[in-house]
Amino acid sequence: MKQILLIAWREYKQYVFSRGFLIFLVMFPVSLIGLTAAMGLVERTKPARAFVVYDQTGQYTDDIDREIERRRLLSAIAGWDGYVAAAARPDADVKTALAAPFAPAAVNDARARAFMEAGGFDAAQAAAAPYLKPGVPTYVMPRAQFERVPPPAGDIASLAGAEALLRPYLLGERRIARADGSAAPLFAAVLIPSGFGAGEGAEAAQYWSRNLTDVALEDLIGDALDGALQREAVAALGLTREALDDVAAISAPFEAYRPDRAAEEAQLGFADRVETLMPAALTYMLLVIIFGVGNLLLTNTIEERSNKIVEILLSSVTAGQLMAGKLIGIAAVGLTMPAIFLVGGLAASVAASGDQNFAGVAISALFSSPLLLIYLFYFFCAYAIFAMIFLAIGAVSNSLQDAQSYMGPVMILVFAPLPFMIMVFQNPNGFIASLLTWIPIYTPYAVMMRAAADPPMWEIVGATALMLAFAIVLMRFMGRIFRNAILQSSPPKAAEVWRLARRDGV
């Protein structure tokens, strides 16, 4: 065992303590923070995109302006919540200490209205001041993303005339005047014909822009016009705009329950969500690890083979010990990266949400699940099956080029069940789920996805027994290929591999 661990530790050290990996460890959070900061900076410094509205009906411009302002306010309140969480003293629980509209909470129209009625951001800043760290700057509202500017002077009596007039501006040949007198490129134009409305045969409003990828303004205009037409329809029924807003703000109280629990524990909570997502997350992690460590196992075995280290190793340890050491060491390398992502992800979500308890809840949900052990068992079975195949490929290859001819089919095998996994996830006891369960190389994936859905026990036990038998036979075959091929000076041809797999001793 000592020899196996020694080999595993050497393999682990070689990759995890390498300069490249350490640089990655530093670069990952730095680039994440840098990227976030850069995006924030770009967002803050980005000038508002100018657009014009040519409204033949003369009714909808105000609705568009209101929608812009509404969105800006919601975004400003979300920014405020982040500011308060980051700027609060560590001992201050701003969620409970601050009064309702100013305390971090869900951002919606009702809160936005209450926020402004309670005095807006100046009042919020004053209310939060006792709980903030000394010296923190005051909150600055994000800039407006869009600015509606008047259409240029000219013949805009008809839509065709407006279109012709606006085209040079939209193509960037001319710049349009802003309210403050400066000139800016025209981002988009909205043309609302006189026949625009909700009725059948009504004319469509037109959105013109050269930028087809940034759809934020297009969405905003669409929503503003939807809201305007809905309000018109509601007014025809004798209701006011406020009444419609109140109706739209209604959110149904809704709770989900699971029937396999006692009544008091039956309500679905955060822990249940984590447990439900765990198999999908583990399946994804498994694929990432297999893909990542497959290359490590290959290059590593090829190095030992081509550098002629393997014979010295085999005079010190058995081929079985060498294989076991490599599998353990490389598995640990493979798990290190997701572990870093997991810890980093939890830390980042704590930082982003300001909720110190989030990580604790997530971790306890993960580790209190009775299914965790089952998941880990199948996780390592799947890893062992595929890692053995990679080791055997490494043993019959003198270079990565040699290995390529074997890698293609293996990768297809690894990723083949992916398209079906969503079906298994949604219908864990359906035909596809059963079928995949009985294919030994996919048993781990399928059982992990089905475990929480109480699949028939006989099916799981039978398929697992088949998988273990398959794994043992595979390990014997791959082990023989490894032992028999690793000392050959030239790699065996594909046709010879089967002969090597059947031969017991070299």
Cβ 326 to another protein shortest distance, Å:
13
Q: Which of 48, 144, 314, 466 binds another protein (CB under 8 A)?
A: 314
Two tokens, residue 388: 């053995």
In angstroms, the Cα distances linking 324 to 8, 51, 175, 328, 393 are 8, 65, 69, 6, 16
Opening angle at CA 42, ends 223 and 134, nearest 5: 105
Length of the chain: 506
User: What angle (nearest 5°) sits at the alpha carbon of residue 195, between those of residues 223 and 179?
Assistant: 55
Q: Which residue in the set 143, 308, 476, 502 belongs to the binding site for another protein (CB under 8 A)?
A: 308
Shortest distance in whole angstroms from residue 330 CB to another protein: 15
**165 scored as a contact of another protein (CB under 8 A):** no
Member of 313, 478, 481, 485 binding another protein (CB under 8 A)? 313
Secondary structure of 165-234 in HEC code, one letter for each residue: HHHHHHCCCCCEECCCCCEECEEEEEEECCCECCCCCCECCEEEECCCCCCHHHHHHHHHHHHHHHHHHH
- What is the closest distance, in whole angstroms, from the C-beta atom of residue 391 to another protein in the complex? 17
The reply on whether position 94 binds another protein by CB under 8 A is no
Q: How many whole angstroms separate alpha carbon 406 and alpha carbon 302?
A: 14
**Residue 317 binds another protein, judged by CB under 8 A:** yes
Distance CA 39, CA 31 (A): 12
Element (H, E) at 421: helix 418-426
Comparing CB distances to another protein, the nearer of 9 and 380 is: 9
Handedness of CA 370, 373, 375, 378 (dihedral sign): negative
> Is residue 318 part of the contact set for another protein (CB under 8 A)?
yes
490 binds another protein (CB under 8 A): no
Q: Among residues 431, 489, 493, 495, which is the contact residue for another protein, using CB under 8 A?
A: 489
CB of 480 to another protein, least distance (A): 12
Cα-flanking dihedrals φ and ψ of residue 156, to 5°? -125, 30
487 belongs to the binding site for another protein (CB under 8 A): yes
Q: Which amino acid is at 162?
A: A
Closest distance between another protein and the C-beta of residue 398, in Å? 12
Taking the complex as a whole, how short is the minimal distance between the CB of residue 394 and another protein, in angstroms? 15
Of the listed pieces 4-12, 26-34, 113-121, 368-376, which binds another protein according to CB under 8 A?
Answer: 4-12
Q: Does 14 bind another protein (CB under 8 A)?
A: yes
Residue 309 in the binding site for another protein (CB under 8 A): yes
By CB under 8 A, residue 16 contacts another protein: no
Q: Where are the beta strands (DSSP E) in 257-370?
A: none
Residues forming the site for another protein (CB under 8 A): 3, 6-7, 10, 14, 18, 303, 307-309, 311-318, 487, 489, 505-506
